[in-house]
């Protein structure tokens, strides 16, 4: 096949299969995230619960009310989201490279996706720290969402770039 046939071949069964692959990998990532968080919270218990911090005047009036997250909470969430996105992206890469014929270098694709996810973790740690200190647990959730979206985009682009490399 030439590159025009490979790039323009989009049929309804291909869309259906890609949707099922995305759902399966997302389900695996969700299960990994849930299992890690469940086991972690069952072991450490109430240690990870956010604590209230109030700023008061000398007369006892409350000026501000902020919930601080425990540093261990941030570490657990970062690790859990990383493991979930890594599992989901590797499963997606494994399934896509075995189903579609245009992805020929399966080992290279999986390696690049895994290394890219580690790099994405290193790049998003400052985001986690910044939003955690500013917004608490809600900020950590936003950081996890950003990490997941960037990881998925990176994995998809990696597959497409490696496919284009093999075409030309």
pLDDT digits 0-9 by tens, 32-64? 999 998 888 887 766 666 666 555 666 666 555
Q: What pLDDT, on the 0 to 100 scale, is given for residue 85?
A: 96
Show the tokens assigned to 152. 């998925």
pLDDT of residue 112: 94
Using one digit for the tens of pLDDT, what is the confidence trace for 116-139?
Answer: 999 999 999 999 989 988 888 888
Predicted local confidence at residue 84, as pLDDT: 96
Rounded (10°) CA dihedral 152, 115, 140, 72 = 150
What pLDDT does residue 167 have?
Answer: 60
pLDDT surpasses 80 at 11: no
Q: What sections of the chain are H helices per DSSP?
A: 3-8, 12-44, 71-99, 106-135, 137-167
The answer to whether residue 66 scores a pLDDT higher than 80 is no
pLDDT at position 69, please? 65
What pLDDT score does 49 carry? 63
Answer whether residue 159 shows pLDDT above 80. yes
Q: What angle do CA 31, 35, 37 make, to 5 degrees?
A: 120
Tens-place pLDDT, residues 71-126 = 788 888 899 999 999 999 999 999 999 888 778 888 999 999 999 999 999 999 99
Q: Residues with Cβ < 8 Å from 131, sequence gap 6 or more?
A: 139, 140, 142, 143
pLDDT level of residue 30 (50, 70, 90 thresholds): very high
| Percent of the chain at pLDDT exceeding 70 | 76
pLDDT reported for residue 61: 62
Neighbours of 72 (CB within 10 A): 12
């Amino acid at each position: 096949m030439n590159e025009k046939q490979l790039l323009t071949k989009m049929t309804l069964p291909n869309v259906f299969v890609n949707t099922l692959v995305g759902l399966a990998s997302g389900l695996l990532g969700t299960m990994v995230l849930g299992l890690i968080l469940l086991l972690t919270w069952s072991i450490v218990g109430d240690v990870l619960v956010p604590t209230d911090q109030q700023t008061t005047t000398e007369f006892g009036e409350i000026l501000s009310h902020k919930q601080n997250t425990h540093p261990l909470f941030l570490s657990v969430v970062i690790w859990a989201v990383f493991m979930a996105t890594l599992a989901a992206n590797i499963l997606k890469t494994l399934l896509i490279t075995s189903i579609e014929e245009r992805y020929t270098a399966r080992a290279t694709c999986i390696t690049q996706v895994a290394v890219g996810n580690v790099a994405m973790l290193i790049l998003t740690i400052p985001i986690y720290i910044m939003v955690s200190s500013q917004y608490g647990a809600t900020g950590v959730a936003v950081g996890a969402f950003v990490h997941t979206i960037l990881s998925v985009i990176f994995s998809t682009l990696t597959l497409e770039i490696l496919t284009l490399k093999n075409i030309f």
